[in-house]
Amino acid sequence: MPDPDPVWKQAKVLQGLYRRMAASLVNVGPCVHIVSFRLGLGWIDESGAVPVPIQPPFTSTAIPGEFFTAATEGSAEDETALIRCVVPAGAVSEPTRATVIGLYDQADTLVAAVSFLPEWITPDKRYEHFVHLNFPAE
Protein backbone atom coordinates (compact mmCIF):
# COMPACT_ATOMS: atom_id res chain seq x y z
CA MET A 1 0.00 0.00 0.00
CA PRO A 2 1.41 3.44 -0.92
CA ASP A 3 2.41 5.83 1.85
CA PRO A 4 -0.65 8.06 2.53
CA ASP A 5 1.61 11.04 3.31
CA PRO A 6 4.66 10.80 1.04
CA VAL A 7 7.42 13.37 1.52
CA TRP A 8 8.12 15.10 -1.79
CA LYS A 9 10.40 17.87 -0.56
CA GLN A 10 11.87 19.39 2.60
CA ALA A 11 12.56 23.12 2.78
CA LYS A 12 14.40 25.02 5.49
CA VAL A 13 15.42 28.61 6.17
CA LEU A 14 18.91 28.23 7.59
CA GLN A 15 21.00 29.73 10.37
CA GLY A 16 22.96 31.76 7.82
CA LEU A 17 19.88 33.85 7.02
CA TYR A 18 19.05 34.54 10.66
CA ARG A 19 22.62 35.57 11.48
CA ARG A 20 22.85 37.88 8.48
CA MET A 21 19.41 39.40 9.19
CA ALA A 22 20.26 40.00 12.85
CA ALA A 23 23.39 41.91 11.84
CA SER A 24 21.47 44.01 9.31
CA LEU A 25 18.75 44.88 11.84
CA VAL A 26 21.29 46.58 14.11
CA ASN A 27 23.19 48.16 11.21
CA VAL A 28 26.36 46.07 11.53
CA GLY A 29 25.74 44.22 8.28
CA PRO A 30 24.05 44.73 4.91
CA CYS A 31 20.49 43.67 4.12
CA VAL A 32 20.28 40.13 2.78
CA HIS A 33 19.70 39.67 -0.95
CA ILE A 34 19.31 36.18 -2.40
CA VAL A 35 21.36 36.39 -5.59
CA SER A 36 22.34 32.84 -6.58
CA PHE A 37 21.45 29.19 -6.28
CA ARG A 38 23.40 25.97 -6.40
CA LEU A 39 22.14 22.58 -7.46
CA GLY A 40 23.49 19.39 -5.94
CA LEU A 41 22.97 15.76 -5.02
CA GLY A 42 22.46 14.80 -1.38
CA TRP A 43 20.12 15.06 1.60
CA ILE A 44 18.16 12.09 0.27
CA ASP A 45 17.56 8.72 1.94
CA GLU A 46 17.55 6.02 -0.73
CA SER A 47 17.76 3.06 1.65
CA GLY A 48 14.10 2.08 1.17
CA ALA A 49 11.98 1.27 -1.86
CA VAL A 50 11.10 4.95 -2.31
CA PRO A 51 13.59 7.82 -1.87
CA VAL A 52 12.81 10.26 0.95
CA PRO A 53 14.19 13.83 1.05
CA ILE A 54 16.02 14.64 4.30
CA GLN A 55 15.48 17.99 6.05
CA PRO A 56 18.45 20.28 5.31
CA PRO A 57 20.42 20.72 8.55
CA PHE A 58 19.81 24.15 10.13
CA THR A 59 23.53 24.90 10.50
CA SER A 60 24.46 23.97 6.90
CA THR A 61 26.93 26.28 5.18
CA ALA A 62 27.04 24.43 1.84
CA ILE A 63 24.93 21.96 -0.10
CA PRO A 64 26.13 18.41 -0.77
CA GLY A 65 27.29 17.29 -4.21
CA GLU A 66 27.18 20.74 -5.78
CA PHE A 67 27.43 20.68 -9.58
CA PHE A 68 25.79 23.87 -10.91
CA THR A 69 25.60 27.55 -9.89
CA ALA A 70 23.64 30.43 -11.42
CA ALA A 71 22.00 33.74 -10.59
CA THR A 72 18.44 33.76 -9.27
CA GLU A 73 15.49 35.86 -10.34
CA GLY A 74 12.98 36.98 -7.76
CA SER A 75 9.80 38.81 -6.97
CA ALA A 76 7.90 39.66 -3.81
CA GLU A 77 4.27 40.19 -2.96
CA ASP A 78 2.96 40.85 0.53
CA GLU A 79 4.70 38.32 2.83
CA THR A 80 5.96 36.02 0.06
CA ALA A 81 9.25 36.03 -1.81
CA LEU A 82 9.37 33.92 -4.97
CA ILE A 83 12.82 32.84 -6.15
CA ARG A 84 13.21 31.38 -9.63
CA CYS A 85 16.13 29.02 -10.30
CA VAL A 86 16.84 28.19 -13.95
CA VAL A 87 19.32 25.70 -15.41
CA PRO A 88 19.48 26.40 -19.15
CA ALA A 89 19.66 23.67 -21.77
CA GLY A 90 23.29 22.69 -22.33
CA ALA A 91 24.39 23.55 -18.78
CA VAL A 92 25.34 19.92 -18.06
CA SER A 93 27.26 17.68 -20.44
CA GLU A 94 25.50 14.46 -19.42
CA PRO A 95 22.30 13.52 -17.54
CA THR A 96 22.87 14.42 -13.88
CA ARG A 97 20.66 13.70 -10.87
CA ALA A 98 19.71 16.57 -8.58
CA THR A 99 18.08 16.40 -5.13
CA VAL A 100 18.92 19.75 -3.51
CA ILE A 101 18.85 23.47 -4.24
CA GLY A 102 20.66 25.95 -2.03
CA LEU A 103 19.93 29.68 -2.03
CA TYR A 104 22.88 32.01 -1.42
CA ASP A 105 23.07 35.70 -0.58
CA GLN A 106 25.41 38.39 -1.90
CA ALA A 107 28.08 37.36 0.64
CA ASP A 108 27.90 33.75 -0.64
CA THR A 109 26.18 32.60 2.58
CA LEU A 110 23.79 29.65 2.31
CA VAL A 111 20.50 31.07 3.61
CA ALA A 112 17.89 28.46 2.61
CA ALA A 113 17.76 25.01 1.05
CA VAL A 114 15.26 22.57 -0.42
CA SER A 115 15.78 18.82 -0.74
CA PHE A 116 13.47 16.95 -3.10
CA LEU A 117 12.90 13.65 -4.87
CA PRO A 118 15.56 12.91 -7.51
CA GLU A 119 15.19 14.77 -10.78
CA TRP A 120 17.32 14.38 -13.89
CA ILE A 121 18.98 17.45 -15.35
CA THR A 122 19.70 16.65 -19.01
CA PRO A 123 21.82 18.52 -21.57
CA ASP A 124 18.91 18.99 -23.99
CA LYS A 125 16.31 20.48 -21.62
CA ARG A 126 15.84 23.60 -19.55
CA TYR A 127 15.17 22.98 -15.84
CA GLU A 128 13.25 25.45 -13.71
CA HIS A 129 12.49 25.38 -9.98
CA PHE A 130 10.58 27.93 -7.90
CA VAL A 131 11.20 28.42 -4.20
CA HIS A 132 8.57 30.28 -2.16
CA LEU A 133 9.59 31.91 1.11
CA ASN A 134 6.42 32.70 3.06
CA PHE A 135 6.72 35.01 6.06
CA PRO A 136 4.00 35.07 8.73
CA ALA A 137 1.49 37.90 8.40
CA GLU A 138 1.06 38.13 12.19
User: What is the structure's pLDDT at 3?
Assistant: 65
User: What is the structure's pLDDT at 112?
Assistant: 98
pLDDT at 1 over 80: no
pTM above 0.85, yes or no: yes
Angle at 63 between CA 58 and CA 90, to 5 degrees: 145
Cβ-contact 52, 44 below 8 angstroms:
yes
Rg over alpha carbons for the chain, rounded to the nearest Å, is 16
pLDDT, the chain, mean:
95
Tell me the β-bridge partners of 37.
70, 103
Share of the chain above pLDDT 70, in %: 97
**What is the DSSP secondary structure assignment for residue 132, as one 8-state letter?**
E
Question: pLDDT digit string (tens) for 37-59?
Answer: 999 999 999 999 999 999 999 99
Residue 32's identity, in one-letter code, is V
Cα distance between residue 68 and residue 97, in whole Å:
11
